[in-house]
Structure 1
Amino acid sequence: MHYAELAQARDELTGPGGAFEIVTINVGGVPVRAYAHALPDVRALWQSTRQFAERPYLVYEGERLTYAEAHARVDAIAAWLAAAGVQPGDRVAIAMRNYPEWLLIYWACVSTGIAVVGMNAWWTPEEMAYGLADAAPKALFLDAERLARFRGIAAPPAGLQLVGVRLAEPAPGVTPFAEVIAHGGAMPEVAIDPDADACIFYTSGTTGFPKGAQLTHRGCITNLFNMLYAGASTARAVQLATGVAPPATPPVPVTLLTTPLFHVTANNCGAYATTAAGGTIVLMYRWDAGEALRIIEQERVTSVGGVPVMARELINHPDFATTDVSSLTAMSGGGAQVPPDLVHKIEDRVAGARPSTGYGMTETCGIITSCSGDFFVDKPDSAGPAMPAYEAKCVDDDGNMVPPGAVGELWVRGAAVIKGYINRPEATAAAITDGWLHTGDIARIDEHGFIYIVDRKKDMVLRGGENVYCAEVEAAIYRHPAVAECCVFGVADERLGEEVGVAVVLKPGEALDAEGLRQHCAALIANYKLPRHIWFMADPLPRNASGKFLRRELREQLSAALPTA
């Protein structure tokens, strides 16, 4: 493999004068790595796309907006907010599905120094009330479903300006979005501090109230440059190894966004990268593999990303074989580890598309690592190397570095790490030490700098003193051809402390019993890692809003009534 060439590409691109030259800057009293040629703020990014005026930007069902049309609406929203008294440094919340308006409101806010509060569209009225009290936005843009939930809040915030998006009829006290657009006007001129908040995204916790992470303009732009670097470094490494240069003019991307815009996967990674390239973003009302295949064929989608289970559902769908997916050049998985078998399935079954992954967090404004193409196929259980704007290390429970190749908690430091959590100084101090973010992920780093995420620290099963990493067991189970979905978790055990449990969903028409699954796994992993408790589920496994399996919810629900198998 081309690992020497990848190292050479990194040196060329990040060294003095390189397109992704890395320098050390001071942010909040901490020295961090940053890109010397990064844009100053997110406003500069959005303004740079005016050059793409006639290109299609947003596609949603039968609706299409060009960049020129999108800019006119963004300018109008920004002018309306200014007239409504929302100033730089204030916050505006968005609570809705992935409608085109989501992105228009987002660009209007960040371009005028207003921080966007991305509210989870699945939140209950109680959770909405918490988020609104925590972030204290001046205005709330919401669709009909979220408006109904807002009406269920016992004591809604006083003075909050409501703007309704795609409402079937007028609502008392709610300004129609059409009125905002009709306001017209130019984008206000503002100066933005790179370390000011661009948005507040809430971490996807499954217990208790989530924390509002402060993503800065510098952090969001750094993440964009991390993504651009990832593509450039891989292409340069392949060129150095093979002599084959990438296209002088890369194709304009058409990206199908499948995960919610209130998370970094869709917003900071998918939307940012496509927008910066003047590409087209295609949105869906809700995730459906069959509908996604239809859209890929109709819109000539070049890349589709989401959590790994979505790629698996596309490939397993009955319509996959008869759908023209030849436009695809990339299928990515993020938000959860991509099982190694899925990497090879994408490589083998999707002609023209290469598998890719990005590992990251809300707390890093997006990706920490990236891995694609030949490198991902060669190391399918890796998340890839850390991007050059990060320092990365694995540490023990006392924060001391572990030996090279050893397992420890991954810590990273760089310009994309969040400022902290709003209203949570203690949580911020617990998560960030001298600029180093404690990811909470157990990992190891190999001799090429590639990071392997072994498991979430708190989700690891401790069985009789032996660590059992859920991702490893899941990877083994997924190699059984009958398995569609699985999620491994710990089940309390009087003798061993914990035993390995797993919820499994089989593909339609397939049959498998507990003993058959254990025999399959026994050939792949050690006996102490074999699942003791196995549940075969009739329905798809529950997921949170970003598409991740609800591991703790499954554990609590299923372990209450242990199976006899």
Structure 2
Amino acid sequence: MSQLSELAAQVRAQLTAPGAPFEVIEASAGGRPIRMYRNAFGTLPQLIASARAHGDKPFITWQGETWSFDRFFAEADAVAARLSDWGVKPGERVAIAMRNRPEWAVVFVAAAMIGAVPAPLNSFGLGDELHDALACVEPSVLACDSERLARIGGNTRVVGCRILCVGDTDLAAGVDDFRVLIAQPAGPKPLPQVGPDDPGLILFTSGATSRAKGVLSSQRAVCQALFNIDFIGAISAMTSPDAVAALMKSGLPPATLTAVPLFHVSGLHAQMLTALRNGRRLVFLNRWDPAQAIDVIRSERITQFNGAPSMVMQLLAQPGFDDPKQTGTLAGLGLGGAGMPQRLIDEVMRRRPDSLSGIGFGLTETNGSGAAASGRLFAYKPRSSGMVSPVIDVRVVDTAGQALPPGEQGEIWLRGATLMEGYWRNPEATAAAIDAEEGWFRTGDVGYLDDEGFLFIVNRIKDVINRCGEKIAAAEVEFCLLQLPEVLEAAVFAVPDEDTGEAVTAVVSVREGSRLDGQALQAHVGAHLAGYKVPAVVHVVTEALPRNPAGKLLKAQLRSAFITESKG
């Protein structure tokens, strides 16, 4: 074991010991023993209430305007009061569908403050996708922007669901105007009667199915995950004192550039809720533009940027990135932890060698918790996804479910205090994902643990494409293609792409004599699904696609042939 890993082990033990800030205790949840942080808040309303202490500190900057914590909570209190007036009760869902903007966070916090369950929807979704998600969660209220309102045709199709719209558009009858609500001040409401085991959040994940699944997490799971982010920061600081000293010497208050969607754990947990809890500033980009990002880093004195691998690659490629006058305030870059391009890791290490840059591995189903490392720990093993969290158990198993020793590759199973309750109203999917006897969640990712406790991700079992950090279920795109009568078979898979990480590629078998071409098929998908799900390349064939004796499409064979053909 190296000196650094020994130091990390000592710091971890120090931080989690009895009486320490991150003391870990044995507890029980759902009838199973778990380890959890003693000092984490038990519920989101409690956590949110603590953030009122930040007062007039700046919280969110968007389009040149900054919301202080005081202003933010004044708007959240007003919205919370209206939600209560409308009869929204603890446990009922409040859906959110809009671009990243302060009002997104205001509605989320307002819903959580009264014990309702925020249910952020994928704002990239088109009408059918948004209606599917709304039908799934059956919210009492949908808060959306005017663009999403137009996509659903002004109708949630959910009986009794009210619509609250953000934006300057003239609104139809029956749609409530956010501006009117916040113009009616209200004081803070008493904490609701909700406990750690009560539902706290629903986030959507594509998984490997043709329909997005709602991931239901308890109040405890979300709060434990947020406290775990604080633990990651603490262990990083104590193992990278030089980088922390440099940041402190600069006198810059922490400021994060937020470009990833808030409906992801990477945006919601690691950025919005963490900043809320710790009194940090967020700067929202309306849409991702690497050139604009450089300008914002300079003008807003950004200290941290976390994004999908493709976003970080595009940022590094900007001419001004290495100019201290442009990005000299940037103390760290945060990266996703699976399928990281080797070129990106090398570039970050070469161009930010002494920074607090880091990496992490987690899923929506674990509220983003799993493994992480930053600073010197990231530099020590940059190809890993970091060290396993103190409140997460990891088991690497073979195809029979038997545990494998360190260094051997297998499927990664996770278990712990941050694990979801299950998929919302989908017991079959829950049973398929979580072992009912011992509570292990099957991630579908292939990797291994080394002898120092670092987790490495090497492959993915699940049929999911990761384009610019957006997870795309291949089955969903295939289902869309198969709606065309002339399409006989469709296989959708990922191929490596330097700009997006992975590109959506389709091989489509059509009827003899069909005039469908790749462009027409792309247009069809684009008319029904979000733009990022449209295949970058479509191969149209008239012969049957290869299948195994059980009738399963041989996607690996198709993918290999496509990559070989592209190189040729």
TM-score range, shorter chain: 0.7 to 0.9
Q: Is the 8 A contact 1:129 1:156 kept in 2?
A: yes
Q: Which residue of 1 aligns with 2:152?
A: 150
Q: Is the 8 A contact 1:307 1:548 kept in 2?
A: no
Q: Which residue of 1 aligns with 2:445?
A: 441
Q: Which residue of 2 aligns with 1:332?
A: 334
Q: Is the 8 A contact 1:252 1:278 kept in 2?
A: no
SS in 1 for 2:13: helix
Structure 2 vs 1, CA of residues 173 and 294 (structure 1 numbering), >3 Å: closer, same or farther? same
Structure 2: where are the runs of 5+ without partners? 475-490, 501-524, 541-557
Structure 2 vs 1, CA of residues 452 and 553 (structure 1 numbering), >3 Å: closer, same or farther? farther
Correspondence 1:260-271 to 2 at 5 A = 260-271=261-272
**C-alpha separation in 2, matches of 1:359 and 1:351:** 21
SS in 2 for 1:132: helix
Structure 2 vs 1, CA of residues 328 and 149 (structure 1 numbering), >3 Å: closer, same or farther? same
Is 2:319 aligned against 1:318?
A: yes
Instruction: Select which of 427, 438, 454 maps to 2:458.
Output: 454
Deviation digits for residues 360-401 of structure 1 (CA, Å, limit 9, x no counterpart): 100011121111122212211100111101111101122210
SS in 2 for 1:58: strand
**C-alpha separation in 2, matches of 1:227 and 1:179:** 36
Instruction: Select which of 74, 77, 86 maps to 2:76.
Output: 74
**C-alpha separation in 2, matches of 1:358 and 1:264:** 12
Q: Is the 8 A contact 1:347 1:354 kept in 2?
A: no
Structure 2 vs 1, CA of residues 244 and 176 (structure 1 numbering), >3 Å: closer, same or farther? closer
Correspondence 1:235-314 to 2 at 5 A = 235-238=237-240, 252-314=253-315
Q: Give the C-alpha shift of residue 171 in structure 1.
A: 2.4
Is 2:17 aligned against 1:36?
A: no
Structure 2 vs 1, CA of residues 501 and 438 (structure 1 numbering), >3 Å: closer, same or farther? closer
SS in 2 for 1:320: coil
Structure 2 vs 1, CA of residues 437 and 88 (structure 1 numbering), >3 Å: closer, same or farther? same
Q: Is the 8 A contact 2:243 2:356 kept in 1?
A: no
Q: Which residue of 1 aligns with 2:509?
A: none
Structure 2 vs 1, CA of residues 168 and 437 (structure 1 numbering), >3 Å: closer, same or farther? same
**C-alpha separation in 1, matches of 2:342 and 2:531:** 17
Q: Is the 8 A contact 1:224 1:269 kept in 2?
A: yes
SS in 2 for 1:354: coil
Q: Give the C-alpha shift of residue 170 in structure 1.
A: 2.6
Correspondence 1:49-128 to 2 at 5 A = 49-128=51-130
Structure 2 vs 1, CA of residues 259 and 242 (structure 1 numbering), >3 Å: closer, same or farther? closer
Structure 2 vs 1, CA of residues 377 and 556 (structure 1 numbering), >3 Å: closer, same or farther? farther
Q: Is the 8 A contact 1:33 1:391 kept in 2?
A: no
Correspondence 1:542-553 to 2 at 5 A = 553=535
SS in 1 for 2:458: strand
Q: Give the C-alpha shift of residue 402 in structure 1.
A: 1.0
Correspondence 1:409-424 to 2 at 5 A = 409-424=411-426
Structure 1: where are the runs of 5+ without partners? 461-469, 475-486, 490-497, 508-541
Q: Is the 8 A contact 1:343 1:376 kept in 2?
A: no
Q: Give the C-alpha shift of residue 187 in structure 1.
A: 2.7
Q: Give the C-alpha shift of residue 230 in structure 1.
A: 1.1
**C-alpha separation in 2, matches of 1:325 and 1:246:** 14
Q: Give the C-alpha shift of residue 199 in structure 1.
A: 1.5
**C-alpha separation in 1, matches of 2:408 and 2:418:** 26
Structure 2 vs 1, CA of residues 188 and 26 (structure 1 numbering), >3 Å: closer, same or farther? same
Instruction: Select which of 397, 400, 424 maps to 2:399.
Output: 397
Q: Is the 8 A contact 1:257 1:305 kept in 2?
A: yes
**C-alpha separation in 2, matches of 1:292 and 1:233:** 29
Deviation digits for residues 23-80 of structure 1 (CA, Å, limit 9, x no counterpart): 1211111111100111121112211121211111110012211011111111111111
Structure 2 vs 1, CA of residues 377 and 339 (structure 1 numbering), >3 Å: closer, same or farther? farther
How many corresponding residue pairs?
493
Q: Is the 8 A contact 1:235 1:246 kept in 2?
A: no
Structure 2 vs 1, CA of residues 556 and 400 (structure 1 numbering), >3 Å: closer, same or farther? farther
**C-alpha separation in 1, matches of 2:233 and 2:537:** 38
Bigger mean CA deviation after superposition, 66-75 or 392-401: 392-401
Query: Quick one: which amino acid aligns to residue 165 of structure 1?
Result: V
Deviation digits for residues 502-552 of structure 1 (CA, Å, limit 9, x no counterpart): 454589xxxxxxxxxxxxxxxxxxxxxxxxxxxxxxxxxx99xxx9986x9
RMSD of aligned alpha carbons? 3.3
Q: Give the C-alpha shift of residue 245 in structure 1.
A: 11
Q: Give the C-alpha shift of residue 318 in structure 1.
A: 2.8
Structure 2 vs 1, CA of residues 377 and 313 (structure 1 numbering), >3 Å: closer, same or farther? same
Q: Which residue of 1 aligns with 2:484?
A: none
Query: Quick one: which amino acid aligns to residue 74 of structure 2?
Result: A
Query: Quick one: which amino acid aligns to residue 327 of structure 2?
Result: V
**C-alpha separation in 1, matches of 2:228 and 2:494:** 37
Bigger mean CA deviation after superposition, 20-29 or 230-239: 230-239
**C-alpha separation in 2, matches of 1:326 and 1:175:** 44
Q: Which residue of 1 aligns with 2:197?
A: 195
Q: Is the 8 A contact 1:339 1:381 kept in 2?
A: no
Deviation digits for residues 140-191 of structure 1 (CA, Å, limit 9, x no counterpart): 01111101111176x8222210111013223232110011112321232212
Q: Which residue of 2 aligns with 1:385?
A: 387
Q: Is the 8 A contact 1:194 1:218 kept in 2?
A: yes
Q: Is the 8 A contact 1:33 1:389 kept in 2?
A: yes
Q: Is the 8 A contact 2:314 2:499 kept in 1?
A: no
Query: Quick one: which amino acid aligns to residue 283 of structure 2?
Result: V
Q: What TM-score, normalized to structure 2?
A: 0.80
SS in 1 for 2:271: helix
Q: Which residue of 2 aligns with 1:360?
A: 362
**C-alpha separation in 1, matches of 2:539 and 2:251:** 49
Q: Is the 8 A contact 2:239 2:376 kept in 1?
A: no
Q: What TM-score, normalized to structure 1?
A: 0.80
Q: Give the C-alpha shift of residue 409 in structure 1.
A: 0.9
**C-alpha separation in 1, matches of 2:494 and 2:366:** 31
Query: Quick one: which amino acid aligns to residue 447 of structure 1?
Result: D
Is 2:408 aligned against 1:406?
A: yes
SS in 2 for 1:121: coil
Q: Which residue of 1 aligns with 2:517?
A: none
Q: Is the 8 A contact 1:306 1:335 kept in 2?
A: no
SS in 1 for 2:21: coil
Identity %: 33
Bigger mean CA deviation after superposition, 99-108 or 200-209: 200-209
Deviation digits for residues 281-311 of structure 1 (CA, Å, limit 9, x no counterpart): 1111111101111111111011011111111
Structure 2 vs 1, CA of residues 257 and 438 (structure 1 numbering), >3 Å: closer, same or farther? same
Q: Which residue of 1 aligns with 2:21?
A: 19
Q: Is the 8 A contact 1:117 1:201 kept in 2?
A: yes
SS in 1 for 2:357: strand
